């Protein structure tokens, strides 16, 4: 059965950023749902996030660097069982696995230099929020961590396993945080006092204070982007937009801007 082009739209910060960067990239990921090979950096980020989420499962006095290192080893074993192909990406010899876990542990060591988890009691971890932007559009996101101070102030924290980007690429990460702030505000009526990005590769912390007027403007922007995406769906016209980011695009071979041919547009779409 063909799904109508006017079907409800589900957006995440990542998919919105894709459309802003390149409408064709949005199509490849959200509509065609083309597979993308995992990268070492992405897998490392997933592992680090998993450790930092589970670190707070134990009492405060047990949240040590040693415990975090142990979590990294056990979570890696779990990930390989769930997705055996990850082992080939990293390597299977004891030396390769040890080197991989040493890299992950170094990022965790950086985290402990930036924060003391024994002094934190997060209100939420990996918090999924879904907000109906309008009758046709839902926006959703998963927040790494939400802290609430005894006095009620709310802080949104997002971990990044890479380095802090230069200003040309920083806005993408900050956009994601702003969307999280909007979701928290609309879903719970909590306007965050602080948004915080923690970059573990170079020990940088980026902080941003959101304001109600900023979030209202963001909400308006999201509605406009949703309208643009719906129009592109109806016309099946997702244009390529070239930039320096093309160098990292996993679908460059299918892009007309680079001499490629996109796959046939699917009749039965279920956006992701």
Residue 3, in any domain of the structure: no
Phi-psi region of 122 (alpha: psi -120 to 50; beta: other; left: phi over 0): beta
Q: Considering only CA atoms, which of 132, 134, 206 is closest in space to residue 176? A: 206
- Asked whether residue 102 falls in the same domain as residue 141, the answer is no
Please answer whether residues 160 and 173 qualify as being in contact, where contact means their C-beta atoms are separated by less than 8 angstroms.
yes
pLDDT in tens, 216-242: 999 999 999 999 999 999 999 999 999
pLDDT in tens, 105-131: 999 999 999 999 999 999 999 999 999
Q: Determine how many CB atoms are found less than 10 A away from the CB of residue 140.
A: 16
pLDDT beyond 50 at 24 = yes
| Number of structural domains in the chain | 2
Buried (b) or exposed (e) across 2-11, using 16+ Cβ within 10 A?
A: eeeeeeebeb
Rounded to two decimals, what is the model's pTM? 0.91
Q: What is the β-pairing status of strands 137-148 and 9-11?
A: parallel
Which pLDDT score is estimated for 4?
A: 40
DSSP code string of 195-226: EEEEETTTTEEEEE---HHHHHHHHHHHHHHH
pLDDT in tens, 29-45: 999 999 998 899 999 99
Residue 181, in any domain of the structure: yes
Residue 243, in any domain of the structure: no
pLDDT beyond 60 at 100 = yes
Residue 247, in any domain of the structure: no
- Asked whether residue 53 falls in the same domain as residue 105, the answer is yes
> Per this entry, what is the length of the chain?
272
DSSP state of 152: S
* Domain range for 58: 40-119
Helix count and strand count (H, E) for the chain: 8, 6
């Amino acid at each position: 059965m063909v799904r109508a082009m006017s079907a409800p739209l589900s957006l995440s910060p990542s998919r919105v950023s894709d459309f802003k960067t390149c409408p064709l990239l949005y199509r490849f990921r959200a509509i065609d749902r083309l597979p993308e090979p995992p990268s070492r950096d992405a897998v490392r980020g997933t592992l680090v996030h998993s450790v930092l989420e589970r670190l707070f499962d134990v009492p405060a006095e047990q949240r040590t660097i040693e415990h975090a290192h142990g979590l990294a080893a056990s979570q890696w074993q779990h990930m390989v069982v769930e997705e055996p192909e990850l082992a080939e990406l990293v390597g299977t010899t004891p030396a390769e696995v040890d080197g991989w876990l040493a890299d992950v542990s170094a990022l965790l060591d950086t985290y402990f230099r930036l924060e003391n988890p024994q002094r934190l009691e997060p209100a939420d971890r990996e918090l999924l929020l879904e907000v109906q932007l309008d009758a046709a559009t839902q926006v959703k996101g998963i927040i790494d961590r939400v802290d609430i101070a005894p006095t009620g102030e709310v802080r949104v924290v997002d971990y990044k396993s890479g380095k802090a980007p230069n200003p040309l690429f920083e806005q993408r990460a900050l956009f994601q945080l702003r969307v999280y702030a909007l979701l928290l505000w609309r879903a719970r009526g909590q306007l965050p006092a602080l948004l915080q990005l923690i970059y573990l590769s170079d020990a940088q912390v980026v902080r941003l204070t959101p304001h109600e007027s900023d979030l209202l403007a963001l909400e308006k922007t999201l509605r406009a982007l949703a309208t643009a995406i719906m129009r592109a769906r109806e016309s099946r016209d997702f244009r390529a937009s070239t930039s320096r980011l093309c160098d990292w695009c996993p679908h460059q071979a299918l892009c007309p801007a680079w001499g490629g041919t996109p796959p046939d547009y699917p009749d039965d779409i279920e956006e992701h």
